Amino acid sequence: MTLWTSTEIAAATGGTSSAPFEATGVTFDSREVGSGDLFVALTGETTDGHRFLDQSFAAGAAGAIVSAETPHPSVRVADTMAALEDLARASRARVQGKVIGVTGSVGKTGTKEALYAALDRCARGNAHRSVKSYNNHTGVPLSLARMPSASRYAVLEMGMNHAGELAALTQLVRPHVALVTAIAPAHTAFFSGEEAIADAKGEIFQGLEPGGTAIVPFDSPHRDRLIAAAKPYAAEIVTFGSGKDADVRAIEAMPLASGGTFVTARLGTTEISYTISQPGAHWVSNSLAVMAAVRAVGGDLALAGLALAEMEGLTGRGARFGVAIGDGEALVIDESYNANPSSMRATLAVLGAQEAARKLVVLGEMRELGEGSAAFHAALAEPIAAAGVETGILVGESMTPLATALEGRGDFVHVPDAAAARARLRELLAPGDAVLIKGSNGVGLSAVVAQLRSGNL
């Protein structure tokens, strides 16, 4: 179906169309261009999308947004990044459905995906979400520009590593519901402490539509700070968690042999029981946030529960798969997309609950932690021991404090990069093992996971 016509794009951006065209998708990455896409030729410090116009049209682009002359069908503007934002605003203005904004130090992508799955069950084919982790100053407007006008629900992830970023993004998204999953040490190199992180996350409430709902983690030590941030903008503030005074709370959370959890939750006067397919206590919290948001937009809670039961692990965020090793198989838990102290602890606990002949870790350094980096890394020794892990590979210079803390506590090796980690893992992995692979995205452990998936470790 047509997403944008050249006439609509020109009207939204104030640009000039060179020829009529219709686009069925939007991208600014020439490697992702598909048939019928609108290619936005962004310019930056290191690259210029105009260099890839021929490549994009060869791949099937229907048109482009450009700031320079081109023979291809296009809408010419003065600034392509500003035009992408204008297109995002036009997309948001024409959608009559409910929009949910999601942020948090941890859990935002998983919660966004679970919430999308829940709402898609309520409105098949008419729910929209940001893909991957497109949550920054380019990813959010792209996700909005991709939103079909008939969307009944949209779930947009928003991230930040500096104060003021969410304030700008939420004005683009203009959510009816703004959800904060959790506050934890992340990007601490750019903040004075967790209170400052909570303040920056609380900026999401500033874009709430009139009558909007703020959803806040009840069990967070920063709950009251977040509530105070929401009060000037939200008509309703809903808390979720395990505390007895939470508006949406877990009455019971029973671990299952499958690794998931059976939850009974109370939402006001309503009780609902559902199964979460994903392992870990953090997913109980995520599921409560999902239920709170589904209720806030008038979705079906029972269908949301079914979606949580059927949800599969996300690549880089909990996906599981087996790899043939010798005459047997090893289990890989793929958490390679990103890491901070809170998510490291949560996923190590998941590994600890996993039945296996031996539990291994490949842990990459956690980046952007600032002056507290050494202490945060060294502190991982405790959850590693609690998980019953005695063998592992530590990747990156910042892992030095952890390597020191683990001396004499098992067979741990410290290597400089992902390539070295891959080589050591090839030597270590044995049938019956369960291995957790996790680290900051820049460490490149996703390449190790890809090699395991391909069978070419």
Supply the pLDDT for residue 452.
Answer: 94
Query: Residue 8 in 3-state DSSP?
Result: helix
Number of residues assigned to the chain: 457
Sequence-ordered strand ranges (E) for 303-385: 319-325, 328-335, 358-364
**Which residue is it, tokens 């508006």?**
247
Domain stop point among 27, 48, 79: 79
Is the confidence at residue 133, as pLDDT, over 80? no
Helix (H), strand (E) at residue 196: helix 194-201
Same domain, 249 and 101: yes
- Structural domain including 386 reads 319-454
Query: Is residue 188 over pLDDT 80?
Result: no
Type of residue at 445: L
CATH number at residue 66: 3.40.1390.10
Q: What pLDDT is attached to residue 257?
A: 85
253-264 per-position pLDDT tens digit: 999 988 899 999
Tell me the average pLDDT across 209-221: 97
Q: pTM for the full model?
A: 0.85
Question: Which residue bears the tokens 């690794």?
Answer: 259
pLDDT band for 225, please (50, 70, 90 cuts): very high
Mean pLDDT of the residues in the chain = 95
pLDDT of residue 103: 97
- Indicate the SS3 state at residue 83: helix
- Asked if 279 and 352 count as a contact pair (C-beta separation under 8 A), the reply is no
Residue 168 one-letter amino acid: A
CATH number at 366 reads 3.90.190.20
Residues 277, 142 share a domain: yes
* pLDDT tens readout for residues 86-124: 999 999 999 999 999 999 988 899 999 999 999 999 998
Cβ distance 314 to 295 under 8 Å? no
Q: Are residues 297 and 365 both part of a single domain?
A: no
What does the block give as tokens for 170? 């939420």
CA distance readout (Å), 247 to 180, 244, 327, 355: 15, 9, 51, 35
CA torsion 32→37→38→41, rounded to 10°? Answer: 20
> Both 65 and 101 in a single domain?
no
Both 171 and 291 in one domain: the answer is yes
**pLDDT bracket for residue 161 (50, 70, 90):** confident
Do 237 and 341 sit in the same domain of this protein?
no
Q: Distance (Å, rounded) from C-alpha 144 to C-alpha 130?
A: 8
Closest CA to 320 of 141, 165, 449: 449
Q: In whole angstroms, what is the distance from residue 264 CA to residue 238 CA?
A: 18
Are 265 and 374 members of one domain? Answer: no
CA 331 centroid distance within chain? 23
Instruction: Of 304, 103, 265, give the one whose Cα is nearest residue 186.
Output: 103
Whether residue 185 is predicted with pLDDT greater than 80 in this model: the reply is no
pLDDT band at 192 (very low <50, low <70, confident <90, very high): confident
- Asked if 274 and 383 sit in the same domain, the reply is no
pLDDT classification of 162: cutoffs 50, 70, 90: confident
**Is residue 297 in some structural domain?**
yes
pLDDT at residue 152 is higher than 70: yes
Whether residue 137 is found in the same domain as residue 281: yes
Q: Given a cut of 70, is residue 186 above it in pLDDT?
A: no
Distances (CA, A) of 239 to 172, 279, 282: 25, 23, 16
Taking residue 14's Cβ as centre, other Cβ atoms within 10 Å add up to 12
Say whether pLDDT at 315 is over 90: no
- Is residue 275 situated within a structural domain? yes
- pLDDT-derived band at 393 (thresholds 50, 70, 90) equals very high
Q: How many domains does the chain have?
A: 3
Number of Cβ within a 10 Å radius of residue 168: 16
pLDDT at 87: 98
Q: Which amino acid is at 33?
A: V
Structure tokens at 456: 């070419």
Whole-number Å distance between alpha carbons of 255 and 279: 8
Instruction: Tell me the pLDDT band of 189, cut-offs 50, 70 and 90.
Output: low
Angle of helix 281-296 relative to helix 341-353, nearest 10 degrees? Answer: 110
Same domain, 167 and 230: yes
Distances (CA, A) of 375 to 71, 265, 370, 400: 56, 36, 10, 11
Q: How far apart are CA 105 and CA 12, in angstroms?
A: 33
pLDDT digits (tens, 9 = 90+) for 339-371: 999 899 999 999 999 999 999 999 999 998 988
* Residue 47 domain flag: yes
Q: 213 with 296, same domain?
A: yes
- The mean pLDDT of 224-233, rounded to a whole number, is 98
Position 44 scores a pLDDT of: 85
Count CA atoms closer than 13 A to 127's CA, side-chain side: 21
CA 376 – CA 230 distance, rounded (Å): 30
Region 256-284: mean pLDDT is: 94
Tokens 């934002």, residue? 85
First-to-last C-alpha distance (Å) of the chain: 42
Residue 4: its H or E element:
strand 4-5
Q: Could you tell me the CATH number of the domain that includes residue 303?
A: 3.40.1190.10
Residue 306 lies in a domain: yes
Asked whether the predicted pLDDT for residue 16 surpasses 80, the reply is yes
Q: What percent of the chain has pLDDT over 70?
A: 99
- In sequence order, the 6+-apart residues with CB closer than 8 A to the CB of 350 are 259, 279, 280, 318, 333, 436
Cβ pair 254, 267 in contact under 8 A: no
With contact defined as beta carbons under 8 Å apart, do 115 and 156 qualify?
no
pLDDT (0 to 100) of residue 112:
96
